[in-house]
Amino acid sequence: MGLIKCLDCDRHVSLNADHCPHCGNKRFREQYFERQKRWEEEEIRKKENDIQKAKELKFSSVEEMKKAEKTKEKNLEIFEWVVDNSTNIVITLAIIIFLLWKFAFSR
């Protein structure tokens, strides 16, 4: 318990140590907590951005917006799949049409 990462050497150090035993970094604790704080501030900013964006795009909530984004992504994936497989799809359709045509004229 109480292990944090030294940002200079990327190895774990006990919170109680007064310097990093791996690289001798004396500021490992401050560096870690500064980064932690920056990360938290970044998270808050992201959340505020999302709320702002949802408002601008007239979504009732951030969840609604995220859901819509996911649906959009999914549709894009399907579209990309169709584009990637367009040759196969065309060939398959051609074979089906050919077989239907052959069947129709074989009677």
Among 2, 4, 15, 20, binds Zn ion (CB under 5 A): 20
Of residues 21-40, those binding Zn ion (CB under 5 A): 22-23, 25
Closer CB to Zn ion, 5 or 50, in the complex: 5
Among 5, 9, 19, 31, binds Zn ion (CB under 5 A): 9
Q: Is 19 in the site for Zn ion (CB under 5 A)?
A: no
**Distance in Å, CB of 36 to Zn ion, minimum:** 17
Q: Which of 62, 31, 40, 37 is nearest to 49 (CA)?
A: 62
Nearer to Zn ion, 9 or 51 (CB): 9
Question: Which three-class secondary structure string do you get for the chain?
Answer: CCEEECCCCCCEEECCCCCCCCCCCCCHHHHHHHHHHHHHHHHHHHHHHHHHHHHHCCCCCHHHHHHHHHHHHHHHHHHHHHHHCHHHHHHHHHHHHHHHHHHHHCC
Work out how close the CB of 49 gets to Zn ion at its nearest, in angstroms, rounded to a whole number.
34
Q: Given the rule CB under 5 A, which residues bind Zn ion? A: 6, 8-9, 20, 22-23, 25
